[in-house]
Amino acid sequence: MKQAFLTLALVVLVAAAAAQAPHSHRHGFSGAERWASVFDDPARDEWQKPQQVVDALRLAPDMTVADIGAGTGYFTVRLAQALPKGRVYAADLEPDMVAYIEQRARQMKLANVTAVRAAADDPKLPAPVDRVLIVDTYHHIEAREAYFRRLAGRLSPAGEVAIIDFTRDSPFGPPVSTRLPAAEVKAEMQRAGYALSAEHDFLPHQYFLVFRHQKR
C-alpha cells in the first residue's frame, strides 16, 4: 500500500509541478480535462494539505487573492470558497487552463473567480491583491527578481506572497537539479525587496514561505 501511494504521488507531483508553471515556455499543457484527473486527484490532499495551507494564509472573507500558476484550479476553488465576499484571480500562462478554470467556476457557481491569462514576465493581475499564492511554480519563473519587483506593484499595503515549492530532499517532485532550496528563495526575495514574515513546516515535501514587500 505504501509503495502504491508513493508511486501515485510521484506521478502527481511531477506532472503538477510542471503544469502549474505558467512562466515557463518549456511545457505545453493543452487538454486541461486530461490534466485535471492528475492535478485534482484526491490522493494529492494527503501531502498537499490544502485546507491547512488556506488556513495559514489568514484570509478575511472580503480579501482579494491571486493564485499564480493556478493550473486546473486545485487551490483556486478552495480559496474562492474561503472568500465569500472576496475575489480570486486564477492566473496561468496556458489558455487551455484559463478556459478550464472559467468553466469550472461556472459549474461550481463560484462567481468570485476571475481567470487571468498570465504573461511569462507578468501575472497580469487586474487589481491589487491582499495575498498571492504560488504553489510548485516559483522555480519555473524566469528573471524572478524583476518579476517579483513588478508583482509588488499589485500588492495591497499589507499584502503577502506565499511560496510553496519542493524541498531538495523530497523523495519525488521535479528533477533535483531544478529545485531551489528555501534559503535561495529567501535570498532572491530579499533582493527583490521582500522580507520573510512567516515560515510553515507542516508540509512533508515542500517548504512554505510567506513574504511581505518592504515599501520604500
Q: Could you tell me how far CA 131 lies from the centroid of its own chain?
A: 11
Enumerate the β-bridge partners of residue 160.
131
Ordered per-residue pLDDT tens for the chain, 216 residues: 333 333 333 344 444 444 443 333 344 445 555 545 456 667 899 999 999 999 999 999 999 999 999 999 999 999 999 999 999 999 999 999 999 999 999 999 999 999 999 999 999 999 999 999 999 999 999 999 999 999 999 999 999 999 999 999 999 888 999 999 999 999 999 999 999 999 999 999 999 999 999 976
User: Environment class of residue 206 by beta-carbon count within 10 Å: exposed (0-12), middle (13-18) or buried (19+)?
Assistant: buried
Listed residue (72, 112, 117) closest to 91, CA to CA = 117
> CA-CA distance, 42 to 61, in Å (whole number)?
26
Provide the domain limits for residue 80: 2-213
**Closest by alpha carbon to 47, among 171, 185, 144?**
171
Which amino acid type is present at position 112? N
Query: What is the CATH classification number for the domain harbouring 47?
Result: 3.40.50.150
C-alpha–C-alpha distance, residues 38 and 66, integer Å? 22
**154 alpha-carbon distance from chain centroid:** 16
What's the total number of domains in the chain?
1
CB atoms within 10 A of CB 163: 27
